[in-house]
Amino acid sequence: MIGDAGALARAGEIWADVCVVGGGVAGIAIALSLATAGRRVCLLEGGRETFSWRSQELYDGEVWDPRYSLTGTRTRMLGGSSNCWGGWTRPATANDFDPRPWLGMAGWPIGERDLAPHYDRAAELLEVVGPRTDADLLDELPVDLRGLAEIGGEAFRTIFFGMSPPTAVGRVHREKLAQAPGLEVILEATVTRLVSCPASDAIEAVEGTSPAGPFRVRAEMVVLAAGGIENPRLMLASGGIGNGRDLVGRYFMDHPRLRMRHLLLDEDPGFARLYDARHYGGGSMVTRRGRHGAAFSPTLPEQARAGVLQSYTGLVATYFRQSDLTLEDARQVWKALKGELHEKIDATRLARVVAAAPATAAYVLGRKLDLRGAHMRYEIETVIEPMPDRENRVALIGATDRHGVPKIHLTWRRHDRERETHRHALDLVRRAVEARGYGRTTVDPGVWEPERWDSSVITTWHHMGTTRMATSPSEGVVDADCRVFGTSNLYVAGSSVFATGGGVPPTFTVATLALRLAAHLEARLGRPVMAGAA
């Protein structure tokens, strides 16, 4: 069932096998999996089924970089940030999990083989075609694109992404949530504290508040699935649970995304059809089965040789030399008019939209008439794996929200290695394009100055690493099963457990990790006791 917190507040306290805090991709995956297996599950979601600024304001806090919005980079409603994601999916690979000594990265305590059994169910949850190898997808390309996809030789390769609609999991799977036996989805239930048992290492209860009053949930197992900022916030606000080594909230990561170089083509062997996100995002496909996107990515040997992080690079067609980024303001205003924007529009942005109206009209006309080829000019967009840094963190401050929970201060400084990774990726593309006579790339050399490069970073809204997975409590917050070190029944789900940011979008890995955690909890709980359970 799906309901508000009124009945819960009137009851004062309820019991469940598992209490899941947060109704995003991870929380919904776990709740549905366990409920289907016959468990009594209580899923607490702080928001409603629709967006509310009053709810969203509970995300407010302080940031080191004023460009990074705490209220505009996530969504506090059923479905979580799947309500504002782009739909890009790709499984993490050995490149993401294994040690990389040239970066000083120790890797994860789990590997690709641990997540692979859950790929099909994760694909179903996110409405994408089940993962397939890059080699298989390469074979499905039209003949005229295969040669283009292999221009990187030994230095870089073409990788493929499954493209979700994108799926808002709360809306798409609403009926399953409403009908699953033993599952209670409780909306507008804001968790304010985890209560530790004084006589053991267990979490005794989850406490919170709602418009109807306070509530309390007791459960054998508790799972935090509230996102990469709220998970550590709640642990720190509950007396510092799991923070014996001062690691909760540290190692915050996000994928830097930048557009700083242009590709000017003399001939086009198919760049738009293969690498332009706007092109295939509009409905065309680069493979015969399923909807996929593609990008350039340096090979692992090349990364090791150059001492760089992972990255992937695509193209964005421009029209009449109009940068796609200059049109982002117009897109946001249009979304606001349709009631789809989860971010406030200020007067400065609105003024920019009005001033750019003629250029915006030309851009829209160019897209409608598909005039890319008239000039064959592209922006080159690169997404970069973040370098783990202990000083990048989520920390509590003295100010509190209206429920008395301390707000947070977010520090996210970019690393020199990320800038060098970006420079290296663009240089690989430049050399390959020019060697084949396709055209040339242009960039202002001054953009590589640290301050200027940093000011060009666009976030991807991927909040990762703040309760990182490790083999011991001296290195992380949770173990290989996502259990918080030093506790017997507290688990964390979502991208906050990522030991490294990886070279792929996080949502598919979030889903597979959540399904793996659900299987672990099922095994720990033993035989179901609900009537009719298998």
Average pLDDT over residues 520-530: 82
Q: Which of 139-143, 287-291, 472-476 has the highest mean pLDDT?
A: 472-476
CA distance 294 to 140: 13
Q: What is the pLDDT of residue 531?
A: 40
Query: Which superfamily is assigned to 1-128+164-255+386-413+461-534 in CATH?
Result: FAD/NAD(P)-binding domain (3.50.50.60)
- 3-class DSSP string for 230-277: HHHHHHHHCCCCCCCCCCCCECCECCCEEEEEEEEECCCCCHHHHHEH
Q: What is the pLDDT of residue 288?
A: 46
Tell me the pairing of strands 13-21 and 156-163: unpaired
HSE of 452, CA atoms in CB hemisphere, 13 A? 7
Average pLDDT over residues 144-160: 94
Q: Is 139 exposed, middle or buried (0-12, 13-18, 19+ CB in 10 A)?
A: exposed
- Residues 337-369 have pLDDT tens digits of 666 555 666 666 666 666 666 666 655 655 555
Average pLDDT over residues 2-16: 91
The share of the chain scoring above pLDDT 90, in percent, equals 74
Q: What is the pLDDT of residue 272?
A: 82
- Residues 390-413 have pLDDT tens digits of 999 999 999 999 999 999 999 999
Contact predicate 433/263, CB 8 Å: yes
Name the token pair of 512: 């597979």
Q: What is the pTM of this model?
A: 0.91
Q: Is the pLDDT of residue 509 over 50?
A: yes
* CA distances in angstroms from 126 to 119, 164, 166, 248, listed in the order given: 11, 6, 8, 29
Contact predicate 203/194, CB 8 Å: yes
Contact predicate 156/302, CB 8 Å: yes
Q: What is the pLDDT of residue 532?
A: 41
Domain ranges of the chain: 1-128+164-255+386-413+461-534
Q: Is the pLDDT of residue 283 over 50?
A: no
